[in-house]
Structure 1
Amino acid sequence: MSENLSESLFKPRVTVKETSTISNSKARQLIAENQYDGRPWYRIQRPWLWQWMGMSWIDIQSVFSRISACDKPRTSEMLDTVGGYQPGSWSFEFMKLSSSSASMAKAFAEAHDEPQAHKQYLMASYYATMAGFPHFKGDQIATATHALSYTHLLSAVDHSPYLVKKLNIPVDNRHIECYLHLPDDDSPKPVVIVSGGIDSIQPELYPIFQHYFAKAGFAMLSVDLPGVGHSTQWCLQQDSSHIHMAILDHLEEVPWVDHTRVAVLGYRFAGNIAARMAFLAPERLKAAAILAGPVDRIFSDINRMKALPQMYRDCLANRLGIDSADPEALFYKCLPLSLKTQGLLGAMHTRLPLFVLGRGGDYLCPAEDLNLLSHASSDCTVKVMDSIAENHAFNSIFADVTKWLQKHL
């Protein structure tokens, strides 16, 4: 089925809107000098994260080489702004990797090699996810890559010792699709509600369950942030935790989890949501982990907002449903997302245990944010790392978080 889907959705075409133009009407003016780390790429590159997930850095570098060498028209000076879905475009090149992994997965599955089938279906899911990065609402190719990303993830779990349940949870008279990952279904499990960055979707969260939560006996309920993935029907707003609170309300009806033993984990932007839930639902949660999450300064300091990589500003605009071309207008639209502006951080305390992670020099979660979070609860564990831009850092982070959660769930 996935191969038929791939054939029907991913025929080369040049009329598809180029990603960098979707939420930025001035995308054609982008120049390399203004980009993150001075690199001539529109998309922020995270090699340490991709390698930690298991993707081949050699294959990824080969993709970058093909994109760089492409002589087709680009929207701007950025290398990864080749228009359409064709050789040399970001989505096309990563979908080639995904299709190759999917073919290998199918062959391993037919040979009853479950571990390799599992691994290759995961790679097919992750590469399809990368093909849609940064997952803009209104990006036709990204929407199509998501379908394959989720399909391959489910196939991967079918070849693992674990289980996954698709949940359609009611929110505002609509439904949102979430994935409940289970180590087994022998008994109701304590559950961690997990979300990631504003530029990510649910399949990217699976390694947390696979390598850490499953071994600890936790279920993991993954959720897309407002405006992305399965949550595109909702725009990001001041009430950033709206979807997650509705999911929390619904957990009592989910038979595979113990709704009295619930924690929330937010990585990057989802840390804002996890922190907000710590104030709004301390009686229904056992713990909240906030990993390098922006909670104030990025939203309350206009110069910091203007210094963000263009892709990240476009992500915010896309989730808010506005144009990012005017940095000041974007800033004032984002200002209500500050938990300090909302009167939560710095003014209130929660009795909920918090695990707070930061890193030196982080543009999203600076020292001021960590200080606010550290004083939000009398039971707060704070860990500051020199860098999370290394494979071993992710192992350390999630090993520590898992041990901490075991004390509270």
Structure 2
Amino acid sequence: MTWQPDMKDDGSGAVKGMQRKQASETSSVANSQAGQRPVQSGWYRRMQVFKWAWQGLDPLLLQEVQARIAVSTNKRTHEDLIDTVIGYRPGNWNYEWSQEGALRMHDGKAASAAGERDVARKHFLQSCLFYTIAGYPHLRGDVLAEDAHVLANQAYRYAGQLMNDPLQIIKVPYQGHELQCYLHLPKTDEPVPLVIMAGGGDALQSDYFRVFRDYLGPLGIAVLGVDMPGVGYAEHWKLDQDTCALHLQVLHHIQDNPWINRHKIAMMGMRAGGHAAVRAAYLEPDLLAGVVAIGSPVHEAMVDKQLASRVPQMLLDQWASRLGLDAAYPELMMATVANFSLRRQGLLGSRRTSVPMLAIAHPNDEYGTMTDAQLIASSSVQGELVRLKRPTFASSIDTAFVTAAKWLAKRLL
């Protein structure tokens, strides 16, 4: 195979190196007051070790990279925040995770050249994951994160060429731009059911490859990934209260795909993606056979005036980035977020949708609360609620997707 990247290369030229060293550090990208506010000691980013391990990364290696970041003596935006080393250099979050991504990319190319398809595919998928973590939490305007996203998608496409059923890229025109979505199809010559996977606001669509490989693909169900507005391939658009507009464009576009059974399409979303999926159930009930919302805030957290004072700064920055606002003004931001409440929008609680909906939640989750999950389930004529029982929401991700896959199979097969 000849490696011809179709995206900008991660060159090491002097100009690019200077740009990287001068790039804004992530904690200052969405907050004009970064560096001028008191912070609590610890990490700026929320560690998602359970998720990264579930995706297929070695927990010991994850700890090793975190340790390299922690021991760095390079200057930080906040000396009390471990992962705020300034510039693309040792100790910088993006730098350390990108090193691992580059190693796996090299190993993948070597294995592919030697004809070891399975080994190469594994390396490329891991490279994608490491580069994706390098770009986390995926703030708009974060130059280093944008570079990492390019390389993550490059690695994912390389892996896609080596899959038993090669990855398909669906291009959907929307508001003057083109949204790229990854479509994974099970091996069959017949049109298949489809689940549109709406990731959360802190993930790229490639994060959910395992949903297809381990849960839905073996059942004969295709998966189409869609980035949330403000993230990944959807970075051109700001998130607004019509959270599912982009997904509905994809839903309409995919109707004519010859490989998809358009009468058997469902949506599944995690966190903000679940909000979009539930909203879509009200706006296009005739096109959806089911909706799954996992840990999804739809009302309670959005109208909680004290939430901004309790959540980590990274989450505030993330919301500000998606909304096109400044995290230095949380009161204005939370006033905007209140308009996202699906109850206030006159949907949940006012009438039932005909689309079957499954709400999955953890009793101790303060974002996608059990109250919101009950509201989702009660707002469908065939609504169901599942309570996760493991210690935390993060540790329940495998259980959540196993449960969702079984539920979707009953409605799509």
TM-score by structure 2 length?
0.93
Partner of 1:267: 270
Unaligned runs of 5+ in 1: 34-38
Deviation of 1:42 (Å) = 0.6
Question: How far 1:195 moved relative to its partner?
Answer: 1.5
State yes or no: 1:315 paired with 2:318.
yes
CA distance in 2, matches of 1:204, 1:144: 17
Could you tell me which of 336, 342, 345 is aligned with 1:342?
A: 345
Aligned AA for 1:15? Q
Shift in Å, 1:153? 0.9
Paired position in structure 1 for 2:69: 67
**1:163 Cα deviation from its structure 2 partner:** 2.4
2:190 matched to 1:187? yes
Kindly report which structure 2 residues correspond to 1:77-88, keeping only aligned pairs within 5 A, or say none.
77-88=80-91
In structure 2, the residue matched to 1:177 is 180
> Which sections of structure 2, spanning at least 5 residues, go unmatched?
none
Shift of 1:152: 0.7
- Counterpart residue number, 1:205: 208
After superposition, the Cα gap between the structure-2 partners of 1:41 and 1:232, relative to the gap in structure 1 and judged at 3 Å, is same
- Pairwise CA distance, 1:382: 0.9
Whole-angstrom distance in 1 between the partners of 2:243 and 2:185: 27
CA distance in 2, matches of 1:386, 1:325: 36
Residue 143 (structure 1) aligned with residue 150 (structure 2): no
Secondary structure class of the residue paired with 2:11? helix
Give the superposition deviation at 1:314: 0.8
User: Which digits, 9 at most, give the CA deviation of each residue in 1:201-256, with x for residues without a partner?
Assistant: 11101111111111011111100001111111111111111101111111122222
The corresponding residue for 2:97 is 94
In structure 1, the partner of 2:10 is 6
Q: CA deviation at 1:160?
A: 2.2
**Conserved 8 A contact 1:49-1:390:** no
Residue 113 (structure 1) shift = 1.9
Q: Which deviates more, 353-362 or 112-121?
A: 112-121
Give the residue type in structure 1 aligned to 2:62.
I
User: 1:241 is matched with which residue?
Assistant: 244
Counterpart selection for 1:402 from 397, 400, 405: 405
Q: Is the 8 A contact 1:265 1:288 kept in 2?
A: yes
Matched position secondary structure for 2:167: strand
Aligned residue runs from structure 1 range 273-284, under 5 A:
273-284=276-287
SS across alignment from 2:387: strand
Native 8 Å contact 1:263 1:286 kept in 2? yes
Could you report, residue by residue, the CA deviation over 1:163-194 in whole angstroms, capped at 9, with x for unpaired residues? 21111102124321111111236222111110
User: For 1:100-144, what per-residue CA distance to the aligned partner results, in whole angstroms no more than 9, with x for missing partners?
Assistant: 111111222122222211111100000010110011110111111
Q: Is the 8 A contact 1:104 1:120 kept in 2?
A: yes
- 1:36 maps to what in 2? none
Residue pair 1:163, 1:183 contacting (<8 A) in 2 also:
no
Within 1, Cα distance between the matches of 2:77 and 2:27? 8
The residue aligned with 1:26 is: 33
Task: Give, as a single letter, the amino acid of the residue that structure 1 aligns with 2:31.
Answer: N
Are the aligned partners of 1:195 and 1:223 in contact in 2 as well (CA < 8 Å)? yes
CA distance in 1, matches of 2:339, 2:356: 25
Letter in 2 for 1:250: H
- The Cα of 1:279 is off from its aligned counterpart by 1.1
CA–CA distance in 2 between the matches of 1:116 and 1:231? 31
- How far, CA to CA, are the matches of 2:123 and 2:311 in structure 1? 35
Structure 1 311/102 Cα, relative in aligned 2: closer, same or farther at 3 Å? same
Q: In structure 2, what residue type is equivalent to 1:102?
A: M
Contact 1:177 1:230 in 2 (8 A): yes
Pair 227,4 (structure 1): closer, same or farther in 2 beyond 3 Å: closer
Give the distance between the partners of 1:400 and 1:143, measured in 2 at CA: 34
1:319 offset after TM fit, Å? 0.7
Aligned pair count reads 404
Mapped partners of 2:253, 2:173: distance in 1: 8
Whether 2:141 is the aligned partner of 1:134: answer no
State the 1:396 CA deviation.
Answer: 2.1
Identity of aligned residues (%): 31
| Shift in alpha-carbon separation, 1:314–1:119, aligned structure 2, 3 A | same
Give the distance between the partners of 1:160 and 1:105, measured in 2 at CA.
13
Moved more, 296-305 or 349-358: 296-305
Structure 2 residue matching 1:372: 3-state secondary structure: helix
> Structure 1 pair 313/93, CA: closer, same or farther in 2 (3 Å)?
same
Does 318-327 or 106-115 show the bigger shift?
106-115
Q: Secondary structure at the match of 2:46?
A: coil
Partner Cα separation in structure 1 for residue 295 and residue 140 of structure 2 = 24
One-letter identity of the residue aligned with 2:296: G
Q: Distance in 2 between matches of 1:383 and 1:92?
A: 40
CA–CA separation in structure 1 for the residues paired with 2:159 and 2:286: 36
